[in-house]
A and B are shown apart, each in its own frame.
Chain A
């Protein structure tokens, strides 16, 4: 579906281990994310998240305590989630000192698989700002081109 759709981060006044527990423990997840969470935090584990009257399966991808956690969601019923049919949510925790952690979340879909390697790199370099930067640029160009 997408490469870099969303890329956000926040600085938290707590050690990475504490942040890790907040983003991976089901009783914590239900406080900031879904209303109901059934999830075992192990690579490949299938789980379920419910949002109000909607819900869907999730599959855990990477579990690297306490720095990386990712899962795939929003994939079609009956299909195995993979690049191209689902969204990948990746959390990265970077300690900034003993009691402070930068938490970054990237929500994305499929990779630049049909491009030559060098072009992928060039694109990644030019678009390191990702989606937000793209939108800003479009908006600016848009404003310029509007008559008056």
Chain B
């Protein structure tokens, strides 16, 4: 994926309203914009706007059936997004793990220095 395609994908699925729309499409298959707008807490205009963004990111496609326009999820692109997202999460896991190691090493070191200090103090007293 190119960086730009990446950006489009992130901004498409990062928005919670669009995630809700995606969620409904995944659970219900092919549906119309008006069916969707009956099930979300925002306006029909907002649903239409979100569908445009999702379609531009390649996550959703539409086809005409008579006078209706039906929308559905593009599974391949969604899988791709899922994998990219998992990679981003894994990157943070690696960073957190590095922080853990650094902090634990620093803590062990200061404890070690402290106990040496205490030993010396004790040694001086006896």
Contacts and interface: CB of A to CB of B under 8 A. Distances in A.
Nearest to B83: A135
A50 interface: no
A146 B28 CA distance: 13
B5 interface: no
A86 B62 CA distance: 31
Contact of A138 (B22, B46, B86, B92): B22
A57 interface: no
B19 interface: yes
B92 A105 contact: yes
A133 to B, nearest CB: 11
Given A2-B10, A103-B99, A116-B41, A138 B23 contact: yes
Given A6-B92, A32-B99, A142 B46 contact: no
B29 interface: yes
Contacts of B106: 14, 18, 21-22
A105 B96 contact: yes
B48 interface: no
Given A2-B14, A3-B14, A12-B100, A107 B27 contact: no
B113 interface: no
Nearest to A11: B100
A32 B99 CA distance: 6
A123 B110 contact: no
- Which bucket holds chain B's interface residue count? 35 or more
Nearest to B27: A141
Given A1-B10, A2-B10, A135-B85, A12 B103 contact: yes
B25 to A, nearest CB: 10
A139 B82 contact: yes
Nearest to A139: B82
B31 to A, nearest CB: 13
B42 A115 contact: yes
A18 B111 CA distance: 12
Given A8-B96, A10-B96, A18-B103, 8 more contacts: A1-B10, A12-B103, A13-B107, A115-B17, A134-B23, A135-B82, A138-B26, A142-B26
15 contacts: A2-B14, A5-B85, A5-B88, A9-B96, A10-B96, A14-B107, A21-B106, A32-B98, A32-B99, A101-B103, A107-B88, A114-B17, A115-B41, A116-B41, A142-B75
By Cβ-Cβ distance, the 9 closest A-B pairs, closest first, are: A2-B14, A14-B107, A32-B98, A10-B96, A119-B41, A14-B103, A22-B103, A3-B16, A19-B103
